[in-house]
């Protein structure tokens, strides 16, 4: 079974991590990881635009280096961007110095004070080190748009069923997730817009 929400005790262990954002109005914080990706990111931007929704894109540095034009489109549309490493390294299995160097390299392409570890894998030591420089953002809702055993309908249900005011929701603007994210995203936006929600960027 996929874990759509982090269990509360896990979140309580890491209070310095952003899991969700308290807000006076009903807001959702949509995030898109692993881009920019040709075609897919542009489609995501179009859908967001239709609902005047803002979101946060946690970009892989290597992808921004390859597709700087798509990165510029994200920024000029008023979305936020965050560092998601240069080569999508897993913090748990990477020596600290190598891990920090990869993030510093990504920072050349993604100037941001937001950081999301790839796979959500970060050691407590890495967390302590990086939070001096970054707001570390994990999530409260994982859509599982990347998972082979999740249908587009289930991906949509994961978000509709669990999202609450202030939820930070993960999608991916990647090839692997494209079918699911392009199915779920417009429906999520429509559903929550009708309930009076706003879609905002994660503040720095």
Binding site for Zn ion (CB under 5 A): 33-34, 118
Closest residue to Zn ion in the complex (CB): 33
146 with 135: CB under 8 angstroms? no
d(CA 175, CA 105): 24
- Least separation in angstroms between residue 71's CB and Zn ion is 16
- Least separation in angstroms between residue 87's CB and Zn ion is 11
- Least separation in angstroms between residue 34's CB and Zn ion is 4
Beta partners for residue 69, in sequence order:
none
In the complex with Zn ion, the residue whose CB is nearer, 62 or 198, is: 62
Asked if 33 is an active-site residue, the reply is yes
Asked if 161 is an active-site residue, the reply is no
In the complex with Zn ion, the residue whose CB is nearer, 34 or 102, is: 34
Three-state DSSP state, 100 = helix
Catalytic one of 33, 34, 102, 145: 33
In the complex with Zn ion, the residue whose CB is nearer, 20 or 33, is: 33
Per DSSP, 167 falls in state B
- Least separation in angstroms between residue 22's CB and Zn ion is 25
Q: 144: phi > 0 → left, psi -120 to 50 → alpha, else beta; which? A: left
Place of tokens 């549309």: 77
d(CA 106, CA 136): 15
Catalytic one of 79, 145, 172, 173: 172
φ/ψ of residue 192, rounded to 5: -80, -30
| Residues recognised as catalytic | 33, 172
């Amino acid at each position: 079974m996929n874990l759509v929400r982090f269990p509360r005790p896990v979140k309580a262990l890491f209070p310095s991590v952003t899991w969700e954002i308290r807000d006076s109005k009903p807001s959702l914080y949509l995030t898109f990881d692993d881009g920019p990706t040709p075609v897919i990111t542009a489609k995501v931007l179009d859908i967001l635009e239709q609902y005047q929704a803002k979101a946060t894109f946690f970009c892989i540095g290597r992808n921004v280096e390859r597709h700087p034009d798509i990165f510029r489109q994200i920024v000029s549309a008023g979305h936020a961007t965050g560092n998601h490493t240069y080569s999508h390294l897993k913090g748990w299995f990477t020596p600290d110095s190598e891990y920090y160097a990869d993030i510093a390299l990504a920072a050349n392409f993604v100037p941001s004070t937001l950081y999301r570890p790839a796979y959500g894998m970060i050691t407590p030591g890495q967390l302590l080190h990086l939070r001096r420089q970054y707001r570390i953002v994990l999530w409260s809702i994982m859509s599982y748009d990347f998972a082979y055993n999740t249908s587009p309908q289930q991906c949509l249900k994961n978000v509709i069923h669990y999202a609450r005011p202030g939820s930070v929701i993960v999608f991916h603007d990647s090839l692997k997730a494209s079918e699911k994210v392009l199915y779920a995203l417009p429906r999520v936006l429509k559903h929550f817009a009708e309930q009076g929600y706003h879609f905002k960027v994660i503040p720095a």
